[in-house]
């Protein structure tokens, strides 16, 4: 599934952020280090499924600080830390943190560093998690910073794609990836396209409503890799894709008037997938899907379609996030030796 690694020394030193064992951006990874990381995620699978037990993080405490709504990221990071024997303290929303009383990111980060061994932070402002990280030396993980990045999501997305391709006997090099939806404010696609760009000869169809296109700073960054990149405003341009990665329109990040070009024509449904893609296409979404009136998100009529990988994708969130903690806290080499039966 992965290429051989010729690197030596701890992975956490090779992916360090500003010299610290923190995960803020996918820019910290090369293809080689990402695949080395995925081998560690593979080791976590039996623990994630509770077929085996490990307590390598016994006594350690995670601070889960979520200043923006979340179900998957917050709970799966917490569950991942607990699966390795640690405990979790969390706070959700500004209202229930002292930031509501005017406390700065710097003070919050310094105070939390004295209480916990690692922090996962989600915050609505792009760049804010890096600010938390600068104020501390403990591991900090970016759980999503506004329209910036979502590196753990991109890692689990790439892990899912490689796992699905392995099952199908396909290689990621040379694949056609269609990204559909809000590519402007969707941080998961910002991180994922940068990770995918580490592979060779890809074709990206970037299909969005007008006004919600992938930002130029991301396109500039991936342009040096020589992939084919085709922006589009029509679903038909996903024709022949190996992966369809759909995203929710991030209505919380912009005014409703900007949504003018968004219509049912952007909904990825079973009819659309059958018309444009083959039996081996993988359909993904970081979730949540927006199921409210007027939303044209990934259709529920694909729920029983084996090509829909969204729940295999969410399941992969646990071993991938366990691997993040194991690597950043430097215990990945102890996990194999610590395994015991349930």
**Site residues, ligand CP (CB under 6 A):** 70-73, 144, 150, 153, 286-288
Q: How far is the CB of 201 from ligand CP (least distance, A)?
A: 28
In the complex with ligand CP, the residue whose CB is nearer, 144 or 319, is 144
Q: Which of 323, 301, 306, 277 is nearest to 76 (CA)?
A: 323
Q: Which is nearer to ligand CP, 288 or 333 (CB)?
A: 288
CB of 168 to ligand CP, least distance (A): 24
Smaller CB separation from ligand CP, 43 or 48: 48
Q: How far is the CB of 75 from ligand CP (least distance, A)?
A: 8
Query: Residue for token digits 């030596």?
Result: 8
Residues 321, 155: contact at Cβ < 8 Å?
no
CA–CA separation, 248 vs 260, rounded Å?
Answer: 15
Cα-Cα-Cα-Cα torsion 116, 68, 231, 257, nearest 10 degrees, comes to: -160
CB nearer ligand CP, residue 43 or residue 192: 192
Burial 9-37 (b: 16+ CB within 10 A, else e): eebbebbebeebbbbbbbebbebbbbbbb
Residue among 99 and 192 whose Cβ is closer to ligand CP: 192
Minimum CB separation of residue 91 from ligand CP in Å reads 15
Q: How far is CA 219 from the centre of its chain?
A: 19
Q: What's the min distance (Å) between Cβ of 224 and ligand CP? A: 28
Residue with tokens 């910290």: 28
Dihedral (C-alpha) 40, 42, 47, 51: value to the nearest 10 degrees?
A: -150
Kindly tell me which of 86 and 143 has the beta carbon lying closer to ligand CP.
Answer: 143
Residue 64 CB, nearest approach to ligand CP (Å): 11
What gap in Å lies between CA 23 and CA 12, rounded to an integer? 10
């Amino acid at each position: 599934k992965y290429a051989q690694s010729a690197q030596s020394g701890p992975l956490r030193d090779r992916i360090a952020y500003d010299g610290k064992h923190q995960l803020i951006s996918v820019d910290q990874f090369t293809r080689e280090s990402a695949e080395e990381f995925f081998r560690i995620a593979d080791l976590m699978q039996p623990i994630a499924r509770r077929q085996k037990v490990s307590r390598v993080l016994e006594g350690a405490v995670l601070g889960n600080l979520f200043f923006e709504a979340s179900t998957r990221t917050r709970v799966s990071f917490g569950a991942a830390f607990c699966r390795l024997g640690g405990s979790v303290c969390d706070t959700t929303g500004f209202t229930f943190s002292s930031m509501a009383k005017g406390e700065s990111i710097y003070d919050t980060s310094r105070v939390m560093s004295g209480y916990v061994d690692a922090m996962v932070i989600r915050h609505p402002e792009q760049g804010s998690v890096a600010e938390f990280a600068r104020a501390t030396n403990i591991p900090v993980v970016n759980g999503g910073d506004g329209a910036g990045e979502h590196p753990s999501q991109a890692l689990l997305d790439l892990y899912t794609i490689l796992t699905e391709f392995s099952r199908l006997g396909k290689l990621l090099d040379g694949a056609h990836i269609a990204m559909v939806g809000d590519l402007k404010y969707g941080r998961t696609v910002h991180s994922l396209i940068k990770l995918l760009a580490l592979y060779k000869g890809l074709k990206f169809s970037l299909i969005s409503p007008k006004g919600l296109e992938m930002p130029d700073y991301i396109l500039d960054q991936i342009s040096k890799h020589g992939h084919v990149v085709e922006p589009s405003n029509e679903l038909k341009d996903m024709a022949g894709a190996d992966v369809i990665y759909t995203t929710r329109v991030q209505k919380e990040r912009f005014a409703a008037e900007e949504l003018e070009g968004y219509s049912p024509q952007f909904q990825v449904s079973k009819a659309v997938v059958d018309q444009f893609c083959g039996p081996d296409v993988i359909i993904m979404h970081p979730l949540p899907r927006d199921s409210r009136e007027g939303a044209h998100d990934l259709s529920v009529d694909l729920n029983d379609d084996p090509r829909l990988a969204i729940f295999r994708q969410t399941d992969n969130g646990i071993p991938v996030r366990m691997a993040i903690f194991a690597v950043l806290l430097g215990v990945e080499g102890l996990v194999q030796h610590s395994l015991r039966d349930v």
